[in-house]
Structure 1
Amino acid sequence: MSVVVRVDSKGRIVIPKNIREALGIREKQLLMLRIVDGKIVLEPIGDVADKYYGVVRVEKWPSDLDEFLAGAVREWWRRST
């Protein structure tokens, strides 16, 4: 599937709806932009929740998830240094 798009004065392009739908790209989703052999390649990045699902395993979720995650990061940092 190919389509011609125009770059606006701020360097933006619009990805046509049919292409977004074909790739499952949603509003505010992150895309990886790379230059490969002189061409721009855009790839959808999965949701962070999907990407890291199952990384943290706990018996019971804490009442303060922010503090729990901060503690997990501190523990990871302590172990990695």
Structure 2
Amino acid sequence: MEYSKIDKQGRIVIPSRIRKLIGVEGEAEVLIRVEGGRIVIEPVSRNLEERVKEWVETALSMRVEPFSEEVEGAWKWMSEDYAKRKLGLLS
């Protein structure tokens, strides 16, 4: 926790240690909202395309295979016809 002052124009300086913790360097946009009696300030990333690219790269690097293990008797409670009807493969 660190203290800061609000000047006459309503400006506040966020200490450099806190800015570093939340990844804010130089000028940045923030989202400000009030929750109860608290002011919450969150950094806003406008570089959504880059963030999505990083997420995709991370997800693809995991090399996780869906349904990689067989579960014995997993379908015993659902018939093939029922599953096809739910998927819209049967009328």
Q: TM-score range by the shorter chain?
A: 0.5 to 0.7
| 2:32 alignment partner, SS class | strand
Equivalent in the alignment of 2:8: 9
Unpaired runs of at least 5, structure 1: 55-81
Count of residues in correspondence between the two structures: 50
Q: Report the counterpart of residue 20 of structure 1 in structure 2.
A: 19
- In the TM superposition, residue 9 of structure 1 has moved relative to its aligned partner by 1.1
Matches within 5 A, 1:26-37: 26-37=25-36
Letter of the 1:37 partner, please give it.
Answer: G
TM-score (norm 2): 0.51
Cα distance between partner residues in 1 of 2:37 and 2:19: 23
Q: What is the root-mean-square deviation in Å for CA atoms of aligned residues?
A: 1.4
Deviation string, structure 1 residues 36-63 (Cα, Å, up to 9, x no partner): 01110000111x2x21x18xxxxxxxxx
Q: Which secondary structure state, in structure 2, belongs to the residue aligned with residue 18 of structure 1?
A: helix
Question: Structure 2 stretches of 5 or more lacking a match?
Answer: 51-91
1:26, distance to aligned residue in structure 2 (A): 1.7
TM-score by length of 1: 0.57
How far has the Cα of 1:16 moved from its partner? 0.5
**Aligned residue number for residue 60 of structure 1:** none
Larger Rg: 2
- For CA contacts below 8 A with separation 6 or more, give which structure has more relative contact order: 1
Distance (Å, rounded) in 1 between the aligned partners of 2:19 and 2:29: 12
Residue aligning to 1:57: none
User: Structure 1 vs Structure 2: percent identity of aligned residues?
Assistant: 32
Counterpart Cα distance in 1 of 2:20 and 2:9: 25
